């Protein structure tokens, strides 16, 4: 039993490590180079993040289910009977994986980061190249507005994940393609709303690299960050996960034909059993 739990926690850390290693590297390509290879092809950044999620699911899904996101873990505990005792350990493992993923990206890109900051006449303490690692509000977006955005966008993510993984959803993709579909949901959200505040959607995705940056020279640019923004990509996605899960459970799941047929069959079986025992 203990070995299985440790395996699940390691899998969660590995999953977020993969996501951050590829996702933040794509952010580095977008941010640090001029001309950026993605400047006229932002969809490529979105696809990179989405494929990172897909690879993480393929690698670890059989072990932990690849939550890879505290908002997903919370939503599964609220609505899909995930064990509450595992919620905090899963979240901690996800943060560890994100921290290590950020460390790998830093190892890869630190010379480019330093060159970028010198060429742009900025410092790490002033937030130079911070967009490689963690999120921040975009044009005209306040922290309060970003908080609402993150609730809405994460709700869409969880709604999509619940739909894709619903056992009674006859339109859901098969197990082998579900990972790709979840990755495409992430990419879709980024492509449609990523410029608002870099579509965190995931407390571990933002907090863990932000913590790494705080310890490696970004200081107050990471925590508490301008406008005291650090809490938004944590609280917004957690609330959004609860909202998105509730929306699916209330608006879609009760009306799925396969579920209704299953309930009817179970009811008939109970009636037959009761009649036989009478």
How is residue 45 written in tokens? 């950044």
Question: Do 208 and 20 meet the contact criterion of CB atoms below 8 Å apart?
Answer: yes
Four-CA torsion 159, 162, 164, 10, nearest 10 degrees: 120
d(CA 209, CA 212): 5
Q: Report pLDDT for 131.
A: 97
Mean pLDDT across 26-37: 93
Tell me, what's the pLDDT at 165? Answer: 96
Please report the pLDDT score of residue 274 as a whole number: 79
* pLDDT tens digit sequence for 152-205: 999 999 999 999 999 999 999 987 799 999 999 999 999 999 999 999 999 999
Q: Report the C-alpha dihedral over residues 213, 214, 215, 219, rounded to 10 degrees.
A: 120
Q: pLDDT class for 232, splitting at 50, 70, 90?
A: very high
User: CB of 237 within 8 A of CB of 150?
Assistant: yes
pLDDT band at 278 (very low <50, low <70, confident <90, very high): low
Percentage of the chain lying above the pLDDT 90 cut: 91
Across residues 36-41, what is the average pLDDT?
83
Kindly state the DSSP code that residue 221 receives in the 8-state scheme. G
Q: What secondary structure letter does DSSP report for 124?
A: T
The overall pTM is greater than 0.75: yes
CA distance 70 to 14: 14
- Contact assessment for residue 109 and residue 136, using Cβ atoms and an 8 Å cutoff: no
Average pLDDT, rounded, for the chain:
96
What value does the mean pLDDT take over residues 99-109?
A: 98
127-147: average pLDDT: 97
Give me the domains of the chain, ranges plus CATH numbers: 2-277 (1.20.1080.10)
Per-residue pLDDT tens for 236-263? Answer: 999 999 999 999 999 999 999 999 999 9
């Amino acid at each position: 039993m203990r070995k299985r739990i440790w395996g699940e926690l390691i899998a969660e850390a590995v999953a977020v490590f993969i996501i951050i290693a590829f996702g933040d590297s794509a952010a580095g390509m977008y941010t640090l180079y001029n001309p950026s290879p993605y400047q006229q092809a932002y969809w490529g950044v979105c696809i990179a993040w989405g494929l990172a999620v897909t690879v993480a699911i393929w690698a670890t899904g059989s072990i932990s289910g690849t939550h890879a996101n505290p908002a997903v873990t919370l939503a599964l505990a609220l609505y899909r009977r995930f064990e509450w005792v595992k919620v905090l350990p899963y979240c901690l493992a996800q943060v560890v994986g994100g921290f290590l993923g950020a460390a790998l990206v830093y190892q890869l890109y630190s010379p480019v980061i330093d060159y970028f900051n010198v060429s742009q006449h900025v410092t790490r303490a002033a937030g130079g190249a911070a967009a490689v690692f963690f999120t921040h509000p975009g044009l005209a977006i306040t922290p309060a507005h970003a908080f609402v955005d993150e609730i809405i966008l994460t709700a869409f993510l969880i709604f999509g994940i619940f739909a894709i993984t619903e056992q009674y959803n006859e339109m859901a993709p098969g197990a082998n393609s579900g990972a790709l579909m979840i990755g495409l949901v992430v990419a879709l959200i980024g492509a449609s709303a990523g410029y608002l505040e870099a579509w965190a959607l995931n407390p571990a995705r933002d907090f863990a690299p932000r913590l790494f940056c705080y310890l490696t020279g970004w200081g107050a640019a990471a925590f508490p960050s301008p406008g005291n923004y650090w809490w938004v990509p944590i609280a917004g996605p957690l609330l959004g996960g609860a909202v998105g899960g509730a929306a699916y459970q209330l608006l879609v799941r009760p009306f799925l034909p396969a579920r209704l047929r299953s309930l009817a069959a179970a009811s008939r079986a109970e009636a037959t059993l009761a009649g036989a025992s009478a």
